[in-house]
Amino acid sequence: MSDSIVSLYRSRLAREKGTVRKDWGGRITIALAYPNDYHIGMSNLGFQVVYHLFNSKKNIVAERVFLPEYQEISLYHETGKGILSLESQSPLHRFDLIAFSLSFENDYPNILKILNLGKIPLLSEERDDLHPFIMAGGITTFMNPEPLASFIDFFLLGEAEENLDEFTELFAEIHNRRDSRSEALKFLARNIKSVYVPSFYHLSYHKNGTIKSREPTEDLIPERIDVTSKLPPDIPVATSTILTPETEFADRVLIELGRGCGRSCRFCAAGYVYRPPRIHSETHLRSCIDKVMGESKHIGLLSAAISDTPGIANITGSIIKKGGHFSISSLRADSLTQELLENLKRTGQRTLAIAPEAGSERLRRVINKHLTKDQILDAARLIARTGDFALRLYFLIGLPTETREDVAEILDLVKFIKHHIIKESRSRGRVSQIKLSVNCFVPKPFTPFQWFPMEDLSSLKEKQRWLKKAFAREGGVKVNFDVPKWAYVQSLLSLGDRRVGAMLLSSHQLHEDWFKAFRFSELNPDFFVYRPKELDEILPWDFIDHGIHKEYLIKEYKLALKEQESDVCRVGECDRCGVCKI
């Protein structure tokens, strides 16, 4: 064991508040792994919630593991020792269970890095009874776990607050009985509706490469995995439980105002897999915030759209009156109010983010954004009139049916916004900054856009070049673009089936040279990324049941092609998608 690594980890722990430390004696040991560095992992509220839920069990000790950063990796390579947990600096292979918390597909290669550094076989079929079980959960797993099927022993699909109690109880049974690896996996798959064991399913394929059938290979293994949410609306508000200066939010307590979104944007997975959307009541939130402020005056408010939260102006005003400070995530242009903006100004928020997503009214109808040009301009004027906020605008390129005219209208819309901001800011003598974040559209499972392909890389790069030149001529606007080739990889990991696992393994062996790995692949990755899917074909993720009718997604897909909007999600008032009928 490297004294330098232990010293580094103990120094990090000394800067934390809220860390859980338990003696291992007689307890199930779980390594909760985030497949990215400490800074990013500890900025993730979901990761912290799972850490708290595991450690709330008396018979469980959960310790954190992160992808080592440059200094740490060098130290590990020097010593040749396996990766260590943060809390007790214990080797990864000593744990009973390694649980990966997954939020982003582009973190998948880091799973293999962590297993490799932990001296654990990468492929599940190569592990025996002496190795820890490898489990994964998180939003990407209950959209499409198949690209990871070769590496993960089992997935726990769905929301942690709903399924962790049952899982920990039954995992304790197999642990106490000392079941063999195979028998333990059968027990979990047969007794927990949200557990998915990939090795218990056989897939066959048509000559054209699409899925022909998917069959369980063991008795009493379900054909479909049920992840429909039955959480009551009054579940405790999710908050971060560990404070550290080494995060994106620097010692702020994160509070989740709500989960999911009822706006029904057709490209947004969170708006579908977290149905029905749940927004906590003002009373519930204020009670939670009052409790949190007893420990910290610095709060980060999280939600798909902060300004959609009922009573948000009262909530933020109350934080300020009690001597607190808050920061927020994104806002909806059509629900922004003067009172909320004044509170943001008083708390020192410097940048506000809204997401038009598309430049043209036509394309915003296609994606079901429910946002007009006038509403966007009204929000920009209100922001500029209130304070010296920098305004960040989020756009997507490569959306289904997008034309060159739609891309050009991004420039036109931003020019209008800039004009109104200058006009409103003139009296103060300072002009608010405009920042653009332009990303490539990546199709997501369980959305109406799951049948669309990603746009060709050459076309996306050309659109980026045009926008970059156009905004350079315009001036006064900072533009950031994502990298299309990494959007391609994300699409592959988002849309692929278990055959993509071979590409992921090859990329790992080639030091993450994805495109070299593609050249060695027996299957062309374009098959998953660029191929429009038939509405009646079996999709890799069709075995997961979120309660959403596929017919509803098909109807929304067809409405998109007709450039027609549909109504927003009205919880409990309709059964269009099927979720509220359950």
Residue 75: pLDDT band (50, 70, 90) is: confident
Domain ranges in the chain are 3-226, 253-495+547-581
pLDDT at position 40 is: 96
Provide Rg for the chain, Cα atoms.
24
Tell whether the model's pLDDT for residue 427 goes beyond 80: no
Write out pLDDT tens, residues 39-53.
999 999 999 999 999
Out of 1.10.10.10, 3.40.50.20, 3.40.50.280, 3.20.20.70, the CATH code matching 3-226 is 3.40.50.280
Single-letter code of the amino acid located at 430: R
Whole-prediction pTM: 0.96
The 3-class SS string of 454-516 reads CCCHHHHHHHHHHHHHHHHHHCCEEEEECCHHHHHHHHHHHHCCCCHHHHHHHHHHCCCCHHH
337 vs 73, which has greater pLDDT?
A: 337
pLDDT at 349: 93
- Residue 164 contacts residue 192 (beta carbons within 8 Å): no
The fraction of the chain above a pLDDT of 70, given in percent, is 99
Q: Across residues 112-123, what is the average pLDDT?
A: 97
- Cα–Cα distance, 460 to 478 (Å, whole number): 19
User: pLDDT for 177-223, tens place per residue?
Assistant: 999 999 999 999 999 999 999 999 999 999 999 999 999 999 999 99
Residue 2: the pLDDT is 58
List the end-to-end C-alpha distance of the chain, in Å, as a whole number. Answer: 52
How do residues 528-575 score in pLDDT, each as one tens digit? 999 999 999 999 999 999 999 999 999 999 999 999 999 999 988 888
State the alpha helices, DSSP H only, in 256-356.
Answer: 270-273, 282-292, 312-321, 338-347
With residue 136 as reference, give the H or E element that holds it.
strand 133-137
State the Cα torsion 196-200-206-207 to the nearest 10°.
Answer: 120
C-alpha 120/C-alpha 483 separation (Å) is 32
Cα–Cα nearest to 491, from 157, 123, 108, 222: 108
User: Of the CATH numbers 3.30.30.60, 3.80.30.20, 3.40.50.1860, 1.20.120.420, which one belongs to the domain with range 253-495+547-581?
Assistant: 3.80.30.20
Task: List pLDDT tens digits, range 213-266.
Answer: 999 999 999 999 999 988 887 789 999 999 999 888 888 999 999 999 999 999
Q: Which amino acid is at 477?
A: V
d(CA 364, CA 436): 17
In this prediction, residue 1 carries a pLDDT of 45
> What is the percent of the chain where pLDDT is above 90?
89
Q: What is the pLDDT of residues 354-407, one digit of tens each?
A: 999 999 999 999 999 999 999 999 999 999 999 989 999 999 999 999 999 999
